[in-house]
């Protein structure tokens, strides 16, 4: 892929992501929505760039911009260092810089989930969309970046529907929640009982809460721990002695305690199933040693999984996802070349040529209808008229000094005269 | 009435809908999904035209003959699926259900034609209602059969932790179970109505209830009523699915062997 043929304006990407920057730096450069708006305004206000969009998530902070010919990454770095109160050297050491097609390609890959830790994850697509939304509201994304982000989102969607990269869940908790969702349908009306409020219990409770389960109930031998968890995640705390009696009301039971003996015993589960009239129950044992007595999966309509099983599934699913990468990359390249093709045409000379060609076609069509003897004279007349009519627009187009405005106008001409659709 | 031009056109549209349904299951796309539904809808209209032509040729309702009743069965199945699609955008069933529509529509045209004169038994609105409800019941039980198969497939995938494409596309067990319950309820109600009308007419026309078809219809009623009852008493899940598959076996037997060889009033002659 050649570098983009826009001599007047250049795509640029300055970023910090989990590959090049450690957590300490990423935390320093992470933006919240207000900071994104503020940074965008300043970037444009100071005339550093013509267009800009900032993608900021917990794994990455990336500043995409369209700038005039001589703007450099160092200036951007300096701006951010100053803005964040950091030493420019420290910031640039851990940043990466890409230009032109490489910058665009990076965004497309990010949107496709190819740059994520969990390959193919879908959240990032929403984050890319959100970044574009913020930039639009701040008026800092115009013709080029707008198109680039929309194309990247389209590529990301295609990758997820046309490949199986996002089909299989890859973390233990997400596998468990997906399995449970395939038993119960909507988890927003279901109750999850988490036994144990240590690290695993805490992590699972958070994930379950984010997944939008209906009721989250936590029970722990040390009540203070459960109360502390309830302070972080909204859930109900019940005393440890009461949990067996509360089993019938739980659809999903998650074991995360450090108990030496199983805490969920077969007799209790059988009793719970009787009270539930056979409605399914789902047990997830994340504890080592086991929290749930083996053999309960023999009870009718009881689904039971343990950590080892799910870790194995996670490994398999990760391998499955990585097999989809070549196909996903091919889609990214296809969408990227469409975008780059469009952008390559979005400069003065190709646009004027296309405009001329369109004029010539229409002139010739009209001339066909005229008597043969008249044609030569009419052609001269038409060309003279064309020259007069378009002299001023062309002059203004060429002499427009602000790249963003120039691109907007080029895009308008290409659109109004239908220069892009054959 | 030899040619069935509309019928064949409908059949090819059903086939197209099946292909689109499979494509859509692999890669869900709104356009493909919509195109599939459109094929099905146009197919239904053409299929109806075919049934209408049969009716004119016979001078009565078209399902007085075996081939007509099979064809109507396919039509009802397709319309029920389309209704489900419109209401719930439920696409996972399509690839499994449409083949039954295709086969019964094809059978409706390929079975040898019986030209039977209209008799006292096969005349009037009550006869039409009786057959319509009976076939509606069969269509509902077929739905339940397909849903039960899907239930067993999905249950197996969940138990084996196979989180692949089919797992992702098939609905959750609870949802399949709910749809199954609805299908069986509609089937039971329709069959009860068909049976009531049938029994009343049998008594009026022949003064006897000796037709084996009545016994089989009762058996079918009992199986499915039991299914609904057990579903609420701890059998929800794979047991109900297996019972529904068994029930469908009874329906099939009743529609084929009982109709053609055991019951003189239902042998389409």
**Predicted confidence band of residue B49 (pLDDT cuts 50, 70, 90):** very high
Mean pLDDT computed over A81-96: 79
Q: Token pair for residue B262? A: 């055991």
* Range from A83-97, A160-174, A301-315, B180-194 carrying the lowest mean pLDDT: A83-97
Assess whether the previous peptide bond of A289 is cis (omega < 30° from 0): yes
CA of A235 to nearest chain B CA: how many angstroms apart?
25
N-term to C-term CA, chain A: 23
Q: What are phi and psi of B210, to 5 degrees?
A: -80, 0
Cβ <8 Å between A175 and B163? yes
- Contact assignment for A277 to B174 by CB distance below 8 Å: no
The length of chain B in residues reads 269
Residue B28 has pLDDT above 90, yes or no: no
Most B CBs within 10 A among A301, A312, A323, hence the mutation to make, goes to A301
Interior angle at CA A375, CA A374 and CA A376, nearest 5:
100
**Positive or negative: CA dihedral A372, A376, A382, A386:** positive
Mean pLDDT of B52-78: 84
Residue A406 burial by Cβ neighbours in a 10 Å radius (0-12, 13-18, 19+): buried
Question: Least CB-CB distance to B236: which of A184, A185, A301?
Answer: A301
Q: Do B234 and A182 touch (CB under 8 A)?
A: no
Among B153, B174, B180, most A C-beta atoms within 10 A, so best to mutate, is: B174
Query: How far is CA A93 from each of CA A21, A107, A417, rounded to the nearest angstrom?
Result: 9, 21, 47
Which residue on chain A is closest to B25 by alpha carbon? A161
Show Cβ contacts of residue A191 under 8 Å, excluding neighbours closer than 6 positions: A213, A214, A215, A216, A217, A249, A250, A251, A252
What was the pLDDT predicted at B153? 95
Minimal-distance CA residue of chain B relative to A321:
B164
pLDDT value for B243:
95
pLDDT band, very low/low/confident/very high, at B221 (cuts 50, 70, 90): very high
Contact by Cβ (8 Å): A321, B165: no
Mean pLDDT of chain B: 87
Residue of B nearest to A169 (CA): B163
Query: Does the annotation mark A235 as catalytic?
Result: no
- For residue B115, the model assigns a pLDDT of 67
Q: What is d(CA A322, CA A89) in angstroms, rounded to the nearest whole number?
A: 36
Task: Please report which residue ranges of A85-212 form alpha helices under DSSP H.
Answer: 88-93, 100-111, 123-137, 143-162, 172-184, 199-210
Q: Which of residues 268-287 of A touch B (CB under 8 A)?
A: 277-280
Looking at chain A, how many residues does it have?
Answer: 422
The strands making up A252-255's β-sheet, listed across from edge to edge, are A236-237, A215-219, A191-195, A252-255, A281-285, A302-306
Q: Tell me: the pLDDT tens digits for A34-84?
A: 888 988 998 888 888 888 999 988 778 899 998 866 656 778 888 888 887
All residues of chain A having their beta carbon less than 8 Å from the beta carbon of residue B239 are: 300
Distances (CA, A) of B216 to A377, B4, B24, B190, B210: 92, 33, 39, 15, 12
DSSP string, B43-111: HHHHHHHHHHHHHHHHTS-GGGSHHHHHHHHHHHHHHHHHHHHHHH---TTHHHHHHHHHHHHHHHHHS
pLDDT number for residue B121: 66
Q: In the predicted model, is pLDDT for residue A28 greater than 80? A: no
How far apart CA A394 and CA A387 sit, in angstroms, is: 10
Which is higher by pLDDT, B212 or B252?
A: B252
Q: Which two tokens stand for residue B165?
A: 């494409």
Q: What is the mean pLDDT of residues A111-119?
A: 89
Would you give the distance in Å from CA B180 to the centre of its chain? 13
Give the separation between CA A204 and CA A287, rounded to whole angstroms: 12
Smallest Cα–Cα separation from A302: which of A310, A294, A312, A314?
A: A294
Distance of residue B162 Cα from the nearest chain A Cα, in angstroms: 8
pLDDT-based confidence at A2, cuts 50/70/90?
very low
**In this complex, do B172 and A162 lie within 8 Å of one another by their Cβ atoms?**
no
Any CB–CB contact under 8 A between A309 and chain B? yes
- Percent of chain A past pLDDT 90, that is, above it, reads 42
Cβ within 8 Å, pair A164-B173: no
Q: Give the percent of chain B with pLDDT over 90.
A: 46
Question: What confidence tens digit (pLDDT) does each residue in A340-364 have?
Answer: 888 877 778 888 888 888 888 889 9
A184/B contact by beta carbon, under 8 A = yes
Could you tell me the two tokens for A113? 């989930």
Separation CA A135–CA A146 (nearest Å): 9
Candidates A161, A168, A186; nearest CB to B28? A161
Dist CA B60 CA B54 (whole Å): 9
Q: Which residues contact A391 (CB under 8 A, 6 or more apart)?
A: none
Question: Which range, of A272-281, B161-170, B227-236, averages the lowest pLDDT?
Answer: B161-170
Pairwise CB contact (< 8 Å): B163 & A161: no
Is the CB of B171 less than 8 angstroms away from the CB of A185? yes
pLDDT of residue B124: 75
Would the pLDDT of B176 be above 90? yes
pLDDT at A112 over 80: yes
Tell me whether A183 touches chain B (CB under 8 Å): yes
Instruction: Please spell the DSSP secondary structure of B157-220, one letter per residue.
Output: HHHTT--SHHHHHSPPHHHHHHHHHHHHHHHHHHHHHHHHHHHHHHHHHTS----HHHHHHHHH
Does the CB of A319 have a partner CB in chain B at under 8 Å?
Answer: no
Is this prediction's pTM over 0.80? no
* Interchain contact A248–B (C-beta under 8 A): no
A185 contacts in chain B (CB < 8 Å): 171-175
Burial A381-395 (b: 16+ CB within 10 A, else e): ebeeeeeeeeeeebe
- Among B158, B163, B173, whose Cβ lies nearest the Cβ of A168? B163
Catalytic residue, from A1, A58, A265, A330: name it.
A58
Question: A178 and B164: CB-CB below 8 Å?
Answer: no
Residue A73 at interface with chain B, using a CB cutoff of 8 Å: no
User: In this complex, do A317 and B163 lie within 8 Å of one another by their Cβ atoms?
Assistant: yes
Query: How many Å apart are CA A227 and CA A233, to the nearest integer?
Result: 10
Helix axis angle, A348-368 to A325-345, nearest 10°: 70
Res. A166: pLDDT tops 50: yes
CB A53 within 8 A of CB A140: yes
Residue B120 has pLDDT above 70, yes or no: no
**Pairing state of beta strands A96-99 and A51-56?**
unpaired
């Amino acid at each position: 892929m050649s570098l983009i043929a826009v001599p007047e304006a250049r795509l640029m990407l300055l970023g910090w992501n989990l590959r090049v920057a450690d957590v300490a730096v990423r935390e320093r450069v992470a933006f919240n929505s207000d900071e994104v708006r503020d940074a965008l305004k300043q970037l444009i206000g100071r005339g550093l760039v013509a267009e800009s969009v900032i993608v900021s998530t917990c794994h990455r902070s990336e500043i995409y911009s369209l700038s005039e010919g001589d703007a450099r990454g160092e200036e951007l770095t300096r701006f951010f260092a100053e803005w964040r109160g950091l030493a420019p050297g420290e910031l640039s050491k851990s940043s990466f810089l890409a230009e032109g097609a490489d910058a665009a390609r990076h965004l497309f890959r990010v949107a496709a989930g190819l740059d994520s830790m969990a390959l193919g994850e879908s959240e990032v697509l929403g984050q890319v969309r959100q970044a574009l939304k913020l930039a639009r509201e701040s008026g800092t994304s115009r013709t080029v970046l707008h198109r680039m982000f929309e194309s990247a989102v389209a590529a990301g969607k295609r990758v997820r529907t046309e490949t199986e990269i996002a089909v299989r869940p890859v973390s233990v908790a997400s596998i468990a929640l997906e399995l449970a969702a395939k038993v119960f349908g909507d988890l927003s009306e279901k109750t999850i009982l988490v036994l144990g409020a240590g690290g695993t219990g805490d992590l699972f409770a958070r994930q379950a809460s984010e997944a939008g389960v209906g009721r989250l109930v936590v029970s722990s031998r040390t009540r203070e721990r459960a109360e502390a968890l309830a302070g972080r995640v909204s859930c109900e705390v019940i005393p440890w002695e009461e949990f067996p009696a509360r089993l019938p009301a739980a659809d999903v039971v998650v074991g995360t305690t450090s108990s030496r003996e199983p805490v969920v015993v077969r007799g209790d589960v059988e009793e719970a199933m009787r009270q539930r009239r056979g409605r399914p129950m789902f047990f997830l044992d994340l504890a080592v040693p086991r929290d749930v007595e083996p053999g309960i999966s023999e009870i009718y309509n009881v689904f039971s999984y343990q950590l080892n099983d799910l870790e194995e599934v996670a490994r398999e699913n990760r391998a499955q996802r990585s097999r989809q990468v070549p196909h996903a990359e091919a889609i990214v390249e296809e969408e990227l070349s469409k975008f780059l093709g469009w952008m390559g045409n979005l400069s003065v000379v190709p646009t004027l040529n296309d405009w001329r060609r369109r004029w010539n076609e229409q002139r010739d069509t009209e001339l066909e209808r005229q008597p043969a003897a008249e044609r030569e004279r009419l052609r001269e007349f038409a060309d003279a008229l064309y020259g007069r009519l378009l002299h001023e627009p062309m002059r203004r187009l060429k002499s427009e000094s602000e790249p963003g405005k120039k691109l907007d106008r080029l895009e308008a001409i290409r659109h109004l005269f239908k220069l892009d659709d054959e | 009435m030899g040619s069935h031009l509309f019928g064949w056109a409908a059949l090819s549209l059903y086939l197209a809908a099946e292909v689109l349904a499979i494509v859509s299951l692999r890669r869900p796309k709104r356009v493909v999904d919509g195109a599939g539904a459109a094929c099905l809808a146009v197919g239904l209209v053409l299929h109806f035209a075919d049934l209408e032509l049969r009716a004119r040729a016979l001078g009565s309702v078209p399902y007085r003959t075996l081939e007509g009743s099979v064809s109507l069965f396919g039509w009802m199945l397709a319309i029920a699926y389309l209704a489900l699609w419109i209401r719930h955008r439920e696409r996972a069933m399509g690839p499994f259900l449409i083949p039954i529509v295709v086969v019964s529509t094809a059978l409706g045209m390929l079975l040898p034609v019986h030209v039977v004169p209209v008799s006292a038994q096969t005349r009037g609105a009550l006869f039409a209602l009786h057959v319509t409800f009976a076939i509606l019941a069969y269509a509902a039980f077929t739905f339940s059969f397909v849903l039960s198969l899907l239930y067993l497939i999905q249950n197996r995938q969940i138990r084996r932790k196979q989180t692949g494409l089919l797992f992702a596309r098939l609905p959750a067990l609870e949802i399949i179970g709910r749809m199954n319950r609805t299908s069986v309820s509609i089937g039971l109600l329709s069959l009860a109505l068909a049976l009531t009308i049938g029994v009343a007419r049998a008594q009026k026309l022949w003064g006897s209830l000796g037709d084996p078809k009545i016994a089989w219809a009762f058996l079918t009623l009992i199986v499915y009523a039991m299914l609904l009852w057990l579903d609420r008493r701890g059998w929800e899940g794979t047991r109900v699915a297996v019972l529904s598959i068994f029930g469908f076996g009874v329906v099939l037997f009743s529609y084929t062997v009982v109709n053609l060889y055991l019951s003189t009033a239902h042998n389409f002659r």
